[in-house]
Chain A
């Protein structure tokens, strides 16, 4: 019984949140990795692209809510999501046409594009704050829980409860669908193959008649969709605050680099590695250990390796280790 209680406590506080957070990071990291693979620079504006897409989705959600449209037990934001994606696509294409294309034509070095993307980041960041304000916005509605801790306890008779938030369920299901669609697209369709070809060998792709501008445009469209989905899922699960999305850039980049920049599989693996390490290292293990250890060994303290304030430090330590030991990342991306 103690073992079961320990497992449930572990699932409730570590596994479930880490899987949800990992899915969000993975979707974000996929966007970073695609830009890196195809446009060959690290897009620092990705966090704020996510914020912009989420903001657009929130605005549409509010509009739907004011019209009295709802999605039953599911959050209205899911209905607004396609519109939010379109909004994000528009701004991303606009920045590409207006800014990045100029540097592409100059054949600017990646490092210059990185700095340019930082500029874009600050502009987008400001834009989002001007439009929706710097504060927390709550836009989740619909059922809060798939199963609450109390229902679970009553159902199983265990002392520990397992709460499953509906946003966590939605996150995982959406992430699986989006990733499946993306991989189908990259591996099975001609457009996806052109993208892979362009990422693999740019010179040859050009000499094979692949139109670089089209590949770049499609990449941006996909990245905008991924960023919006990732941002909305994160916002539903926690809350939306522009500054938090700016900070999310760090674990997202850590995920993409740990998995290997340019490798979509790596981005997903990296997302989960970062999420699981952040959650396990900042979790207070006392509860789980109380069930598992004999009474004499039971810990007095919280057995928390690090306070949650340091969670970003965790991703950076992992990032440093990976860069030292295996600079191309776990799935052999391009070296940074």
Chain B
């Protein structure tokens, strides 16, 4: 699905991503783990078109997508969420979701004045869809609240909801679970599994919570210092000496063994 080849992203002398090679299989839920500063988010940003790579290629289903702007990638079905939840703070949660599908007929100036009925029909369908998504995420009571005022965890759900408004092909989730309580985390995990099963979304998940990773992800890729350190099932990764040294630490190793 996505192939990353020899990807470099340098900020001045700092090599945030330093020759990363990886492949994400269609229909998988791939976990991306690694210590802070390993280059996971930078890698996301480069793939999602927010940053231009210094060198290297990214392909999606065989086609080169390196350096395409985010809104074009969006129309190709590549979506992402943010580590720190983003939202249109002055709009309600429902409006936030309704913003998502691109190329709505109301976006053309001509239709704004002369295609009112078409827009109204489209908006009605979107509204129904947004309500459905809110219900799926168990935050239907927040539909009319301003997105800037809901809690951090609820914003994370909203981020996930955004990806459900269109037929995404691949979704990059940047720490969806961070700062979210257990119950909400389970809701998110359920949603991811359902989207993967029912709608064949491919997911790439950055996460530090190993239980969450273990429940969802196969395979798991571990990054460190801008490179891919190891790839395999979570059990394999946990047993990998390099990974333990760079990320998990011996404490966890002992815990795994007991």
Contacts and interface: CB of A to CB of B under 8 A. Distances in A.
A214 B166 CA distance: 21
B70 A194 contact: no
Given A190-B104, A190-B106, A201 B87 contact: yes
B82 interface: yes
B100 A189 contact: no
B102 A189 contact: no
Given A191-B112, A194-B99, A209 B91 contact: no
B69 interface: yes
Given A190-B112, A214-B107, A209 B102 contact: yes
Given A189-B106, A197-B99, A212 B89 contact: no
Contacts of B100: 208-209
Contacts, number: 82
Contacts of A204: 82, 86-88
A200 B75 contact: no
Interface in A148-168: none
Contacts of B109: 191, 218, 221
B82 A203 contact: yes
B106 to A, nearest CB: 3
Max chain A C-beta neighbours (<10 A), residue from B70, B79, B80, B87: B70
A221 B110 CA distance: 13
A290 to B, nearest CB: 50
A218 B113 CA distance: 14
Contact of B69 (A191, A193, A206, A221): A206
B50 interface: yes
Contacts of B106: 189-191
A210 B88 contact: no
B102 A208 contact: yes
A207 B99 contact: no
B88 A196 contact: yes
A200 B92 CA distance: 13
Interface residues of B, number: 33
A265 to B, nearest CB: 12
Max chain B C-beta neighbours (<10 A), residue from A200, A205, A208: A208
Contacts of A200: 88-91
Contacts of A218: 109
Interface in B64-92: 69-71, 74-75, 79-80, 82, 86-91
Given A190-B119, A191-B106, A201-B87, A209 B74 contact: yes
A191 B110 CA distance: 10
B71 A209 contact: yes
B101 interface: yes
A122 interface: no
Interface in B100-134: 100-109, 112, 119, 123
16 contacts: A189-B106, A190-B123, A193-B91, A193-B99, A200-B91, A201-B86, A201-B88, A203-B70, A204-B86, A204-B88, A205-B99, A206-B69, A206-B71, A208-B74, A210-B102, A211-B102
- The 10 A-B pairs with the shortest beta carbon distances in the complex, nearest first, are A190-B106, A209-B102, A209-B74, A204-B86, A206-B70, A200-B88, A189-B112, A197-B88, A207-B70, A208-B100
